[in-house]
């Protein structure tokens, strides 16, 4: 591919929307307990409050960050970019 073709393909790819997931934590429940959930019930997650949250795109971890407030909305401040090998970038 020529440099111009690379730039055109890169430009095209830059505009493709992807779903970004910020994972607060996980838990495992049996369906019986899940079906019993009601308003004001609390579901405990495996994530400690002080641990960075994972940012996942296409099932792959790409970054970590912390929750912040921006104009009365929750947002995420990126604190770490993760390389393709799964390790933090230096």
- Residue 21 is part of a domain; what is its CATH number? 2.30.330.10
Would residue 68 count as lying in a domain? yes
> Tens digit of pLDDT for each residue in 25-81?
999 999 999 999 999 999 999 988 889 999 999 999 999 999 999 999 999 999 999
65 belongs to a structural domain: yes
Structural domain count of the chain = 1
Any domain includes 1: no
One-character DSSP codes across 37-79: --TT-----SS-TTSPEEEEETTEEEEEEEEEEETTEEEEEEE
Residue 5 lies in a domain: no
Tell me whether residue 58 is in a domain.
yes
Q: Is position 30 within any domain? A: yes
When the pLDDT of each residue in the chain is averaged and rounded to a whole number, the result is: 86
pTM, full prediction: 0.67
The per-residue pLDDT for 6 is 60
Does a structural domain hold residue 33?
yes
Radius of gyration of the chain (CA): 18
State residue 87's pLDDT score: 61
Indicate the burial class of 17 (C-beta count within 10 angstroms; 0-12, 13-18, 19 or more): exposed
Examine the pLDDT at 86 and tell me if it is beyond 60.
Answer: no
Enclosing domain of residue 70: 17-81
Of the pLDDT bands very low, low, confident and very high (cuts 50, 70, 90), residue 20 is very high
In a domain? residue 26: yes
How many whole angstroms separate alpha carbon 76 and alpha carbon 53? 9
């Amino acid at each position: 591919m020529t440099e111009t073709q690379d730039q055109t393909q890169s430009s095209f790819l830059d505009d493709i929307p992807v779903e970004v997931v910020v994972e607060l934590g996980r838990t495992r429940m049996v369906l019986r307990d899940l079906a019993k959930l009601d308003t004001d019930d609390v579901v405990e997650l495996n994530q400690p409050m002080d641990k960075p949250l994972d940012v996942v795109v296409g099932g792959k971890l790409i970054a970590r960050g912390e929750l912040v407030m921006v104009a009365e909305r929750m947002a995420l401040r990126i604190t770490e970019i993760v390389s393709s090998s799964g390790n933090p970038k230096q």
